[in-house]
A and B are shown apart, each in its own frame.
Chain A
């Protein structure tokens, strides 16, 4: 898979620092599934985190904390294998990070001609909403604007807009200033994972009719 469009470095840094909300985390983690370059960048940023940690001034630990910990060690068993996820949710959609497997599964629902949506319900409240979007070839996305950002990860198929062509593995970051005139140009369905903050506004008469349907 050749990836052409990546998340900005500061977003990868925030991912490694653990300072973004779960909805954004899901979008970056999805990109990392298919992008070795950004996995390397995140690893490098974790090294930066280690360097920052190791260079911090120490704060004295409370009295007896080491002794208390030692007593715990006596009873501790050794963890020899990484924790494994077993859930099977969304397993029919290729390219998603494994941890989504234990989220509540959902089914595709029709939201517009040739467009289906499948919500990903996060286990914690998040300002960012996450969903899968499946569009048929030739679909033009309804003209829309949004008040917050929108992260899109292509899982299969492709689309084009003014910023270029986006295929499997590609990451597109849009904000309110971008006018999205998106066209699906692949032969097969285009499936994307979208993480979105803020309100989505559909323009035009059709858009206003559909508005209530895209609420989740």
Chain B
């Protein structure tokens, strides 16, 4: 065999990208069901860990997958990984939900999406496939010391990140900040080739 056999996780990432494309091009219900099975229960976990009630987390997970369906044609496998793309959909929904909780009248539900819109300009030479970037990110994460990984994970859940992380891990605020700074610097180094 000339090609290296991709490890399971790499092929997972490539498979999710193909599933999203199948939804975009053929409105493929089976592909959508597979995406639902994997991501909806994990988005639910993400929402619950971010402080949503079980019912709200369930609703937000359904809504996220609904957006995966209706926005599938906007997914560009060259510029985003499937998991990263779905993560940004969930992130934006979480921000919208928090605004509704604070009774902030949103002019429309896509407000948050606009706030994250960036003109990326020319992307770095696409010699590196997105699935390879995803594999690289996972490798980078697996190289982080456990204590830094915990802080990174939690930093993706909490709104008022640092103070709540300190409480959750029972460590001083300063330690959270220094661990996060170390972790982000390491990730940045490991990922710099792609940015």
- Mark contacts of B173-191 with chain A using CB atoms, 8 A cut-off: 1 yes-contact digit, 0 otherwise: 0000100110011011001
Query: A134 CA to B92 CA in the complex, in Å?
Result: 33
Say whether B84 contacts A41, CB under 8 Å.
no
Q: Which chain A positions have C-beta within 8 A of B83? A: 47, 50-51, 53-54
Q: Which chain B positions have C-beta within 8 A of A36? A: 121
Most A C-beta atoms less than 10 A away, residue of B45, B79, B91, B156: B156
What's the minimum C-beta distance from A83 to chain B, rounded to whole angstroms? 4
Q: Which chain B positions have C-beta within 8 A of A20? A: 161
Say whether B62 contacts A69, CB under 8 Å.
yes
- Mark contacts of A12-24 with chain B using CB atoms, 8 A cut-off: 1 yes-contact digit, 0 otherwise: 1110011110100
Count residues on chain B whose CB falls below 8 Å from chain A CBs: 86
Say whether B104 contacts A49, CB under 8 Å.
no
Q: Chain A's interface: helix, strand, loop or mixed, by majority?
A: helix
What's the minimum C-beta distance from A130 to chain B, rounded to whole angstroms? 13
Q: Which residue of A10, A17, A50, A61 contacts B81 across the interface (Cβ within 8 Å)?
A: A50
Say whether B118 contacts A82, CB under 8 Å.
no
Query: A135 CA to B195 CA in the complex, in Å?
Result: 34
Q: Which residue of A19, A43, A50, A51 contacts B195 across the interface (Cβ within 8 Å)?
A: A43
Q: Which chain B positions have C-beta within 8 A of A177? A: none
Q: Which chain B positions have C-beta within 8 A of A78? A: 27, 70, 73
Most B C-beta atoms less than 10 A away, residue of A25, A41, A56, A70: A56
Say whether A59 contacts B57, CB under 8 Å.
yes
Is B10's CB within 8 Å of the partner chain A?
no
Q: Which residue of B39, B49, B155 contacts A19 across the interface (Cβ within 8 Å)?
A: B155
Is A205's CB within 8 Å of the partner chain B?
no
A13-72 residues at the B interface, CB under 8 angstroms: 13-14, 17-20, 22, 25, 29, 32-33, 36-37, 39-54, 56-62, 65-66, 68-70, 72
Q: Which residue of B90, B95, B181 contacts A53 across the interface (Cβ within 8 Å)?
A: B90
Chain A's interface size range is: 35 or more
Closest A residue to B92 by beta carbon equals A18
Most B C-beta atoms less than 10 A away, residue of A32, A45, A102: A45
Say whether B134 contacts A53, CB under 8 Å.
no
Q: Which chain A positions have C-beta within 8 A of B58? A: 61-62, 65
Is A80's CB within 8 Å of the partner chain B?
yes
Most A C-beta atoms less than 10 A away, residue of B33, B99, B114, B133: B114
B122-163 residues at the A interface, CB under 8 angstroms: 124, 133-134, 137-138, 140-141, 152-153, 155-156, 158-161
Is A73's CB within 8 Å of the partner chain B?
yes
What's the minimum C-beta distance from A32 to chain B, rounded to whole angstroms? 6
B92-122 residues at the A interface, CB under 8 angstroms: 92, 94-95, 99, 102, 104, 107, 110-121
Say whether B118 contacts A32, CB under 8 Å.
yes
Is A79's CB within 8 Å of the partner chain B?
yes
Where the two chains meet, the residues of B that have a C-beta atom closer than 8 Å to any C-beta of A are: 12, 27, 29, 32-33, 36, 38-46, 48-49, 54-55, 57-58, 61-62, 65-66, 69-71, 73-74, 79-88, 90-92, 94-95, 99, 102, 104, 107, 110-121, 124, 133-134, 137-138, 140-141, 152-153, 155-156, 158-161, 177, 180-181, 184-185, 187-188, 191, 194-195
Known: A8-B181, A13-B155, A19-B159. 19 other contacts (CB 8 A): A9-B185, A17-B161, A18-B112, A33-B118, A43-B194, A46-B88, A47-B84, A48-B137, A51-B84, A58-B45, A59-B44, A61-B58, A62-B55, A73-B32, A82-B113, A83-B114, A97-B118, A99-B115, A123-B107
Q: 13 pairs across A/B with beta carbons < 8 Å?
A: A20-B161, A32-B118, A36-B121, A43-B195, A44-B191, A46-B87, A59-B41, A69-B36, A69-B66, A73-B66, A78-B70, A99-B115, A99-B117
A-B pairs with the 8 shortest C-beta distances?
A40-B195, A50-B83, A58-B41, A50-B84, A9-B184, A49-B87, A18-B91, A44-B191
